Amino acid sequence: MTLLLDPRALPRFADLTADAILPALDAALDKHRAVVADLVARRPTDFGDAWLPFERADTALDALWSAVSHLHAVADTPELRAAHAEGQNRLVEHAMAVAQNRDLYEVFVALTAAPAFATLPLADRVAVERAVRDFVQAGVALEAEARARFSDISVELSALSTAFGSAVLDATEAWTEHVTDAALLAGIADADRAMFAAAAQARGLGGWVVTLQQPSVGAVLTFAEDRGLRARVYEAFGTRASDRGPQAGQFDNGDRIAAILALRREAAQLLGYPDPVSWSLATKMAPDAGEVLSFLRDLAARARPAAERDLADLRRFAATIGIDDLQPWDVGFVANRLRLDRYAVDEQAVRRYFPVERVMAGWQSLLTRLFGIRLVARDDAPRWHDDARFFDVIDEGGAVIAGLYLDLHARAGKRGGAWMAPARPRLADGDAVAVPVAYLVCNFAPVGDTIPSLLSHNDVTTLLHETGHCLHHLFTRVDRPSIAGTSGFEWDAVELPSQLMEDFAWDREVLTGMSGHHETGEALPVALFERMLAARRFQSGMFIVRQVEFALFDLLLHLGTMGHDPIEVIEAVRDEVAVIRPPEWHRFPHAFSHIFAGGYASGYYSYLWAEVLAADGFQRFVEAGLVDRATGDLFRDTVLAQGAVRPAAESFRAFRGRDPDPAAMLVRHGLAG
């Protein structure tokens, strides 16, 4: 039991059975309650006596629950899901009881008022001050009845968010199409056919099975010549967990969305905010909803003419290949064909140069050149699946400074998308010394029997994106876990490191170093790279307006100014910014896990907001010659290592020497010269 709660040890996944989770959680909660009771009874005013015991108890809880949550995301089973759901309820109930404990709040307020507080290291002071702020944000100042209601809302929201994500996963796994006629898969590469064949074999079937896992959907919508197959996959994917489509009502998230929105509005108003957006922005860089809306609408106005040209190009080209009525399920297919025609960039040919192991070797080389670190595999680290790998992160002096788990491939029981999550924090508390550990998770095509997992260029970009998040966690020099790495960092700036790292995928030397044809070993040819670079901004206008659509939908839905029906709001947003409309039966909101089961509620705009920082920040590397160690060290020291000990804007200025220039982001997308 004790080992499951040890933040200095790697998670013991084999011991985290469904039966073991709740007893271990109860033990951690009991310990946490005892610490709180002791602090309230003693009322210490010394940092070591008041804060550190509380932080240690928090960290032990996190050590357990980060591992449980990770397993729920990558190795889900009905038993694990049930234990996770019950444990999440207990954890949130406890967290709210602690956050609304006025006596504990007063202990920390008194700590900030003690004369010695001003002499503490900056990180210590910021950790306590942030905790005091978070007490207020959790309703500690509310009267008893309102405080209890706020707590109940928080527990219910947590359960609804978990259920929302589970419904999306269930809907994703419930739909398949069994293909027995190879002609239906015309246009699809051998590597993707092998993936479909493996899916069929896993189900005891012959032929091929198309699923709704991302690599499968991407392969069909981009390459399948059969228009009917594309339409069926598009409909099944676009109606997941909704009242429409082939699974109509089976996993419907509609009622959950309504309940989540109503509870978020009520919680915000209890705290004195007019709406959930104001509540969300209280701890972000952006000052208010008006400025964010202006930013998004200005970006849409700049991008829409380019998006309209992009769509007109697609329609003209579609007509030349026999598609006179371009539909949403045709867009990826036609775009791939147009890119091939205009730039001679064949996505299937590009993928052959990026077998996953070659990509990972080049990726490690980039990290060494930029930051002086090496990744050394360890076979003795506990794992949850054969796909998973663990690496010690080693500096130039040979010291282990961090740890990194990789889980790169799509499979059953694993939710879609790509993400970084903290596994262990940096710890430096007396004799307790431990390095930070992160999870880096993707959903690349599975490794085949004869053909390796081949990555698209977009997959390579995704890998670098999540690497930026990992480096933010792994390079921290902050000893207080609550404000180290990405923890406590303003949410609308947290994509700065990730989006900055993406741009290295467009450097010829870097990309060539990550390549090697899966049959010949040949590096990515210069001529092919140059064609890829020429096509970089292909359909960039459509991409930007789509991102603005998501961000506006999120904000306007939570503001409530257009009503609370998600379908009505998304349609109104599309009236304003979209250039291509999904069918009326499409149910994008029902699987929008970022805002209903993740951390981006009233904050999806963060991707575009932070891209302003990232695009301008990357220019610092360009000015220094790109893969420049001195600039890498500067970025590490001024941004990645600092965590939330200072505002993100200050960290950016320390790196760039000035405030961000929005022009770099516009140039990045071809919207300015």
**Unique residue bearing structure tokens 């091929």:** 208
Instruction: Tell me the pairing of strands 437-444 and 400-409.
Output: parallel
Contact 602, 279 (CB under 8 A): yes
Residue 255 burial class via C-beta count within 10 angstroms: exposed 0-12, middle 13-18, buried 19 and up: exposed
Q: Which of 177, 235, 347, 466 is catalytic?
A: 466
CA distance 518 to 355: 6
Q: Which two tokens stand for residue 241?
A: 């967990």
Contact 181, 211 (CB under 8 A): no
CA distance 343 to 216: 25
CA distance 610 to 67: 28
Beta strands in 380-527 (DSSP E): 389-394, 400-409, 419-424, 427-429, 432-434, 437-444
Sign of the alpha-carbon dihedral angle for 114, 115, 119, 122: positive
How many residues can be counted in the chain? 673
Q: What number of other Cβ atoms are within 10 A of residue 637's Cβ? A: 15
Q: What's the start-to-end Cα distance of the chain, in Å? A: 60
Q: Which two tokens stand for residue 142?
A: 């509310």
Residues 6+ apart with CB under 8 A from 617: 496, 500, 635, 639, 652, 655, 656, 660
Pure H helices in 503-641: 508-513, 526-534, 540-559, 566-577, 593-596, 606-623, 629-635
User: What's CA 47's distance to the chain center, in Å?
Assistant: 34
CA distance 225 to 184: 8
Pure H helices in 321-378: 328-343, 347-351, 356-371
- Active-site residue, 156 included: no
Phi, psi values for residue 428, rounded to 5°:
-145, 85
Residues 6+ apart with CB under 8 A from 76: 166, 169, 413, 414, 415
Supply the residues annotated as catalytic. 466
